Amino acid sequence: MLNVLAYLAELVRPGVVDRFAMVGARVVAVDGTTYSGDGAYLVLGPVRTEGVAGGEWERLLTGTFLHVSPFEGVFGILHITLNMVALWHLGRVVELMLGRVRFVVLYLLSALGGSVLVLVLADPGQATVGASGAVFGVGAAYYVLHRRLGARMAQVNRSMVLLLLWLVVSAWFGSSWQGHLGGLLTGGVAALAFAYGRRPAVRAGACLGLLALLAVTAAARVAELTGGSVPL
């Protein structure tokens, strides 16, 4: 629902994407020209840093609720459509298996994991949007939970093959494979905690540990981009 509401907001105010998309670091000159935050440039006049490295930590999550604008062509509509169809197909099953609260935790951790890997591996000045990282995390949980329950795996395996093909094909066409892979790995780890943790405290501890790992990784990358400082 938040993804759809965010998309409607994009239609009304396209500037929402520029403000809340996942951006690692970009330098903005006084004339509005932007530069990637990991390069060396001769810029006259004052500059400011935007993105996560500029203290806009919320972009790690807000970008995962945005999608390519429909004004940018057919892919803009396909982007959110494919993500929402995949989320409906996988998410409704995983939510029934986990319950609403644990599903939300899984979804948000997967989304965050995707953004953190984008921050670490992708061009820091490139804006990234989309729920795909979270969808891949939900897909990983779909597989892990069915394995844990000893379910018949034929249909589950087919779904996973399609998901992995999506990862490869979308990377070929220039989509954020870093976000997809980060979401897949994070969702898989969170799902393992939910599936095999014997007590609620163990499951909660595993999720908090995963969150801490993502936070430390993001902070380390920001320190690298800024030359040692981590803005709060």
Q: What residues act catalytically?
A: 132, 180
How far is residue 12's CA from residue 1's CA, in Å, rounded to a whole number?
Answer: 17
How far is residue 143's CA from residue 120's CA, in Å, rounded to a whole number?
Answer: 26
Q: Where are the beta strands (DSSP E) in the chain?
A: 26-29, 34-36, 47-50
Identify whether the C-beta of residue 81 lies closer than 8 Å to the C-beta of residue 19.
no
- DSSP summary character for residue 143: H
How far is residue 183's CA from residue 117's CA, in Å, rounded to a whole number?
Answer: 8
How many Å is the Cα radius of gyration of the chain? 18
Q: Residue holding tokens 């969150």?
A: 211
Identify whether the C-beta of residue 186 lies closer than 8 Å to the C-beta of residue 113.
yes
